[in-house]
């Protein structure tokens, strides 16, 4: 089953009926690295929509191996960019790279440039696609 | 609980190494089953949310739905090309 990994902006799209329907049809395993919640969760009542969206996803905690991989990706990309990609973005791509060992992976994000730069450094980059929702 | 059975293949060298190192393969398989359970739960919830929206008379924005489908199809096509080339 191909996986679709969502960053914080893509999580907002999962709140829309059109994206929910399209993702259901496409048959993706929806994955949210839990580090994304550090960007998106506010602890306010307005998080209701976020919690609803999250229930339709599988959340993957950040383990030590992925943290190391994210750091390495970020370090490789930093010299090629005006500013280094965020640690959260690097973790998302590290998780995508890990999943891509056995499945195709689509990363949905509004920050395509940073994610593309990170993807090109991933070991399984050819099994990862980055798209803007 | 009624139980079904599927067969999973594993690289022989990896299996031999795991056994020689005393890795608890049953525990590793249980972790795999937990992932399957979580995946099934998430997909069922997504299907429920879509069905609830439609059952309550929700209407889709055609343009937005077409755009979402296009993004997903385009990504799948690109990945298929890479798979063939690889």
Q: How far is A97 from chain B (nearest CA, A)?
A: 14
B79, A30: Cβ pair inside 8 Å? no
Interface ipTM: 0.91
- Is residue A93 within 8 A of residue A107, CB to CB? The reply is yes
A20, B38: Cβ pair inside 8 Å? no
B68, A133: Cβ pair inside 8 Å? yes
Q: Give the pLDDT of residue B35.
A: 87
Beta bridge partners of A4: A30, A106
Contacts of A58 (CB under 8 A, 6+ apart): A29, A30, A31, A32, B35, B38, B39, B42
Would you give per-residue pLDDT tens digits along chain A (133 residues)? 789 999 998 898 888 999 999 999 999 999 999 999 999 899 998 889 899 999 999 999 999 999 999 999 999 998 888 888 899 999 999 999 999 998 999 999 999 999 999 999 999 999 999 999 9
Phi, psi at residue B2, to the nearest 5°?
A: -75, 140
A127, B83: Cβ pair inside 8 Å? yes
Alpha carbon of A100 to those of A34, A39, A49, A81, A104: distances in Å?
18, 24, 29, 25, 6
How far, in Å, CA of B49 to CA of B55, rounded?
Answer: 10
Closest to A126 (Cβ–Cβ): which among B69, B73, B82? B82
pLDDT in tens, B13-70: 999 999 999 999 889 888 889 988 999 999 999 999 999 999 999 999 999 999 999 9
Is B7's pLDDT higher than 90?
no
Is B1's pLDDT higher than 80?
no
SS (H, E, C) A60-127: ECCCHHHHHHHHHHHHHHHHHCCCCCCHHHHHHHHHHHHHCCCCCEEEECCCHHHHHHHHHCCCCHHH
DSSP letters along B35-57, please? Answer: HHHHHHHHHHHHHHHHHHHHHTT
Q: Is residue B5 part of a domain?
A: no
Q: How far is B78 from chain A (nearest CA, A)?
A: 7
Burial category of B27 from C-beta neighbours within 10 Å (exposed 0-12, middle 13-18, buried 19 and up): exposed
Tell me if chain B has a CB within 8 Å of the CB of A106.
yes
A18, B71: Cβ pair inside 8 Å? no
How far, in Å, CA of B3 to CA of B31, rounded?
Answer: 17
- Is residue A117 within 8 A of residue A81, CB to CB? The reply is yes
Best of A18, A103, A128 to substitute, by most chain B Cβ atoms within 10 angstroms, is A18
Q: How far is B9 from chain A (nearest CA, A)?
A: 13
Q: Is residue B2 part of a domain?
A: no
Count of domains for chain B: 1
Residue B79: CB atoms within 10 Å? 20
Closest to B75 (Cβ–Cβ): which among A18, A56, A106? A106
Q: Is residue B1 part of a domain?
A: no
Q: Is residue B63 part of a domain?
A: yes
Mean pLDDT of chain B: 92
| Neighboring chain B residues of A129 at a CB cutoff of 8 Å | 75, 78-79
Domain coverage including residue B22: 12-85
- Is residue A132 within 8 A of residue A109, CB to CB? The reply is yes
Instruction: Report the CATH superfamily, name and number, of domain A3-131.
Output: 5'-nuclease (3.40.50.1010)
């Amino acid at each position: 089953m191909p996986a679709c990994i969502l960053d914080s902006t893509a999580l907002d799209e999962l709140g829309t009926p059109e994206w929910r329907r399209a993702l259901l049809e496409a048959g993706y395993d929806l994955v949210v690295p839990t580090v994304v919640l550090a960007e998106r969760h506010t602890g306010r009542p307005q998080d209701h929509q976020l919690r609803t969206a999250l229930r339709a996803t599988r959340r993957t905690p950040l383990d030590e191996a992925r943290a190391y991989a994210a750091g390495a990706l970020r370090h490789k990309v930093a010299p090629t960019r005006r500013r280094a990609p965020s640690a959260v973005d690097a973790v998302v791509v590290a998780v995508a790279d890990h999943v891509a060992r056995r499945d195709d992976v689509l990363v949905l994000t509004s920050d395509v440039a940073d994610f593309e730069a990170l993807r090109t450094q991933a070991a399984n980059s050819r099994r990862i696609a980055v798209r803007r929702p | 609980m009624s139980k079904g059975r599927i067969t999973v293949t594993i690289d022989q060298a990896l299996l031999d190494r795991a056994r020689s190192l005393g890795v608890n393969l049953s525990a590793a398989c249980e972790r795999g089953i937990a992932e399957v359970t979580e995946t099934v739960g998430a997909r069922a919830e997504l299907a429920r949310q879509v069905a609830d929206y439609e059952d309550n008379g929700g209407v889709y924005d055609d343009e937005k739905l077409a755009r979402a489908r296009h993004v997903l199809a385009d990504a799948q096509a690109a990945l298929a090309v890479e798979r063939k080339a690889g």
